[in-house]
Amino acid sequence: MAIPRVRVYMGCSFDGFIAGPENDISWLNQSYAREG
């Protein structure tokens, strides 16, 4: 039986806004490789 994948997006900012112009949150979907 395959285990389903779950992806969670979380964001926090000092000013309370994480979306870009026109409510763009596409940057949340980018993958970042861990270093170390």
Rounded CA gap, 11 and 19, in Å?
9
Residue 11 CA, chain-centre distance (Å), reads: 7
Which residue's entry shows tokens 């949150």?
25
Q: Is the pLDDT of residue 36 over 70?
A: no
pLDDT on residue 35 = 61
pLDDT in tens, 10-34: 777 788 788 888 888 887 777 666 6
Global pTM value: 0.36
pLDDT on residue 33 = 61
Rounded CA gap, 11 and 25, in Å?
10
